[in-house]
């Protein structure tokens, strides 16, 4: 299992002066939620953690080693990223797309084997898109595409999941199913970090939370220490009221 950590990390958001240096460690078994308003830098942070975006300063370490010194194949076998937006540039079926998750494990001209197909088929089943296996991804609905993207990462079987709004486009049933999948991944020793817009998903499904402000300030800690109404009202510039359902707080925006 892998550990992802940041060391005095300042993410590179264009036009932003600086920010709070991030010193966080995402341990196996943990479920982190990243919360913040539009433009706060959540996607930039996730891409920086995945090694796709250079930091302004500081560094990201995977298994104790600076990520910029590691081979991309090593990183791709350990880190899975669910992008916020889909870019299905070339025609591929749902099954072919899921099989991309096996590429980090194959050599340049090696074809996928039976075990790779089995993983992909199981992932499609888990995400409820197996019936679409032969369809072109470009013909799918938004929610179906999102589930195929998550199935591709499940096929990849990374130790660390970085998920940018994983419930985007999903109906209520599939939102719950995907959050259950994230919880299962964490329970089996994987680390999960998710950017979320829904405070209530964070309250129910995350054990750690990072609050990211538009000016680059940030704070992080256990869920209960972070999901404090006054802090969240400041974060979103929105008044909230809190009710409790099933033992978990539910944050409701109020006018005025």
Ligand X SMILES: Nc1ncnc2c1ncn2[C@@H]1O[C@H](COP(=O)(O)OP(=O)(O)OP(=O)(O)O)[C@@H](O)[C@H]1O
Which residues contact ligand X (rule: CB under 6 A)? 13-14, 36, 38-44
CB of 215 to ligand X, least distance (A): 11
Give the Cα separation of 72 and 143 in Å (integer): 29
For CA atoms 2, 30, 46, 158, the dihedral sign is: positive
CB of 87 to ligand X, least distance (A): 15
Nearer CB in complex with ligand X: 53/103 = 53
Residue 75: CB minimum distance to ligand X, A: 20
Q: Whole-angstrom Cα distance, residue 35 to residue 114?
A: 40
Backbone angles phi, psi at 7, to 5 degrees: -130, 105
**Number of continuous H segments (helices) and E segments (strands) in the chain:** 9, 12
- Rounded to whole angstroms, the Cα distance separating 12 from 247 reads 38
Name the nearest CA neighbour of 163 among 140, 147, 139: 147
- Tell me whether residue 73 or residue 234 sits nearer to ligand X (CB atom): 234
Tell me how many degrees the CA angle 166-193-196 measures, rounded to the nearest 5: 45
Which residues face 79 on adjacent strands? Answer: 160
Q: Pick the closer one to ligand X by CB: 103 or 197.
A: 197
Least Å distance between CB 214 and ligand X? 8
Q: How far is the CB of 56 from ligand X (least distance, A)?
A: 12
Distance CA 29, CA 186 (A): 4
Q: Give the nearer residue to ligand X in terms of CB position, either 32 or 94.
A: 32
**Three-class DSSP category at 93:** strand
Q: Which is nearer to ligand X, 98 or 193 (CB)?
A: 193
The residue written with tokens 């540039």 in the block is 89
Nearer to ligand X, 46 or 67 (CB): 46
């Amino acid at each position: 299992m892998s550990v992802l950590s940041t060391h005095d990390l300042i993410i590179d958001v264009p036009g932003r002066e600086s920010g709070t240096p991030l010193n966080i460690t995402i341990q196996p078994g943990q479920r982190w939620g990243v919360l913040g308003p539009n433009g706060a830098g959540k996607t930039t942070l996730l891409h920086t953690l995945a090694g796709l975006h250079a930091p302004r300063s500081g560094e990201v370490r995977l298994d104790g080693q600076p990520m910029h010194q590691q081979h991309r194949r090593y990183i791709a076998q350990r880190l899975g990223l669910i992008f916020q937006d889909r870019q299905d540039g070339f025609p591929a079926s749902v099954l072919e797309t899921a099989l991309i998750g096996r590429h980090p494990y194959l050599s340049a001209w090696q074809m996928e084997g039976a075990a790779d197909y089995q993983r992909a088929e199981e992932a499609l089943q888990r995400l409820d898109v197996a019936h679409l296996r032969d369809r072109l991804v470009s013909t799918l609905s938004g929610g179906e595409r999102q589930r195929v993207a998550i199935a591709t990462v499940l096929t990849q079987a990374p130790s660390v999941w970085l998920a940018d709004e994983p419930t985007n486009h999903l109906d209520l049933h599939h939102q719950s199913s995907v959050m259950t999948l994230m919880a299962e991944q964490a329970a089996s020793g994987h680390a999960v970090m998710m950017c979320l817009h829904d405070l209530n998903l964070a309250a129910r499904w995350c054990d750690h939370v990072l609050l990211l402000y538009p000016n680059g300030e940030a704070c992080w800690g256990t869920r209960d220490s972070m999901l404090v109404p006054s802090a969240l009202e400041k974060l979103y510039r929105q008044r909230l009221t809190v009710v409790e359902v099933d033992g978990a707080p539910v944050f409701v925006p109020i006018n005025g």
